[in-house]
A and B are shown apart, each in its own frame.
Chain A
Amino acid sequence: MNALEVRNLTKAYPQFKVDQISLDVKRGYITGLIGPNGVGKSTLIKMMLGMVRPDSGTVRILGCEMPAQEVEVKQRIGVVSDDCFYYEHLSIRDMQQMIAPFYRKWSHHTFNRYLEQFELSPNMKIETLSKGMKVKFSLAVALSHEAELLIMDEPTSGLDPVFRRELLDLLANILQDEHNSIIFSTHITTDLDRIADYIAFINRGKLVFSEAKDSLLERYAIVKGDLQLLDSDIRKLFVGMRETAVGFEGLVEDRQQAAQLFGEHVILDKATLEDIMYYTAKGGRIHA
């Protein structure tokens, strides 16, 4: 069963368009939403949450239609973003008192436990929190009302490496309950290398792929070889390529095909999510 289903979601701006995106987030798994900055990840997430009205397309979250059943949906989801828009002049305790009554399943005990774990004092004012602390606070809020789906928009971008690692462990723990699901948008792909089960890649407003991370990493490969191996037909096999004076390095979508074609003449490496994102975003030929 899917925790989230997006169908043909489209939103056009004068300079930019999120174009006909269809995407499923499977229940019980972490789906990473990757893509360079400014390609539409945040817009897509905002459309899922009803913050931005799509020009066309539909969104179903936890079996409920958005925006028709948004109140019920929002009871069951948690939103964590690097952009926090809480009341800056209030303390964490005030914000808790403000937010808690809105949720049927709010647990003060859980909230206080997370505050302690994240080393946040209830008396701290929101305006005094660093970006990373704000993410921690919004995570504490999201985890204190038994959210079944966590929607996280660039949550790790303001975090130090220590808490980033802790956060990833925490997310993995949340997934111990197979009813919980996470969609995690980021351009820091190493975070997803660690925890994601599925990867959806957005580039220039379009969905490039959405599939299991393991099969993706098995399918794609980095090919390194001598420039003499390249001709116009061979170049077409590459998703993206980087050429230097001594050779080339490129991403191919079909590892087996590349292995058969080049044999022992090249080095075939495993592609990382960053490689896939980089070469797909850049495309064509890059001279270094």
Chain B
Amino acid sequence: MLNLLRKDFIALKSSLWMTLLFLVVFSVAFIPKLEVSLYLVGIYTAFASLNLGTMIDIKNHNHKFLVTLPVNRKQLVQAKYIAAIIYTLFGVFASYGIHTLVTFAMPELHKPEYSAIDLLAPIGIMLILSAIYMPLFYSLSKKGAAIINVVFMIILIGLAQPTAIVMNMVKEKGISDDPMLILVLIGVLLLFAASYFLTVHLFKRKDF
């Protein structure tokens, strides 16, 4: 498994700067304008990084090479799901770090105080997005996967404002100690796990 994550790192090493670029661009775009920028910067950065990490494997039909390595297809998918979690944590924590800096450096922006619970929302949303994206990516061809990436980015951009409104409502209602929160979190994890099994099933059936 570590070898597969290492493989991703080597393949991506010349484009890792793009992840930081995403972080900067989304921070500049959302932090001054939206109160829930913590979520959006985290989600957008994580999802763009996930796109980068998946597309690198199909740029030159590299799955045809990967399936000749001494790993099975289940391990290939497993590594990508673990990478998705890493991108998610990176995006959300990097966003949290930037927001903490902004709170001190630019108090005039009046960014709210964020708690650990606040970080669960973007992590949960990102896991849901990954759970939908991954089976599509692994079942489609190179062209199809590229289309899916564009569609997801458009949807994310389109949903930015509605998400901000919903997040504000949720924050105002204060659900941090609501038992529903636990149920939602369990549901998200179950969806992510179900998505993993579906993706393994689809990828095992694919011919190269």
Contacts and interface: CB of A to CB of B under 8 A. Distances in A.
Interface of A: 46, 49-53, 67, 70-72, 74-75, 79, 83-90, 94, 97-99, 101-103
Contacts of B59: 87-89
A28 to B, nearest CB: 23
Contacts of A86: 60, 62, 65
Nearest to B205: A53
B143 to A, nearest CB: 16
A83 B14 CA distance: 24
Contacts of B68: 49, 51, 74, 79
Nearest to A86: B65
A70 B72 contact: yes
B171 interface: no
A71 B72 contact: yes
14 contacts: A51-B67, A51-B68, A53-B204, A67-B72, A70-B72, A71-B72, A74-B68, A75-B70, A79-B68, A86-B62, A87-B59, A88-B60, A94-B10, A98-B11
Contacts of A53: 204-205, 207
Contacts of B6: 98, 101
Contacts of B207: 46, 51-53
Interface residues of B, number: 25
A101 B6 CA distance: 9
Interface of B: 3, 6-7, 10-11, 13-14, 56, 59-65, 67-72, 204-205, 207-208
A273 to B, nearest CB: 28
A17 B111 CA distance: 64
B66 to A, nearest CB: 8
A87 B60 contact: yes
B129 to A, nearest CB: 26
A52 B208 contact: yes
Q: Which 9 A-B pairs have the closest CB atoms?
A: A74-B70, A85-B65, A85-B64, A51-B208, A52-B207, A75-B70, A101-B3, A98-B10, A79-B68
Q: B interface, by DSSP: helix, strand, loop or mixed?
A: loop
A85 B69 contact: no
A94 B67 CA distance: 19
A71 B64 CA distance: 16
Contacts of A51: 64, 67-68, 207-208
B208 A87 contact: no
Contacts of B3: 101-102
A98 B11 CA distance: 8
A102 B79 CA distance: 14
Contacts of B11: 87, 90, 98
A203 to B, nearest CB: 22
A99 B62 CA distance: 13
Nearest to A101: B3
Nearest to B71: A71
Given A87-B11, A98-B7, A74 B208 contact: no
Given A52-B207, A90-B11, A98-B7, 11 more contacts: A46-B208, A51-B67, A53-B204, A74-B69, A74-B71, A83-B64, A85-B61, A86-B62, A87-B56, A90-B10, A99-B69
A88 B14 CA distance: 12
B71 A85 contact: no
Contacts of B69: 74, 99, 102
A72 to B, nearest CB: 8
B53 to A, nearest CB: 13
Interface centre among A53, A67, A98, A101 (most CB of B within 10 A): A98
Nearest to B66: A85
A220 to B, nearest CB: 35
Contacts of B56: 87
A84 B71 contact: no
Contacts of A84: 65
Nearest to B2: A101
Nearest to B67: A51
Given A51-B64, A85-B61, A88-B60, A102 B10 contact: no
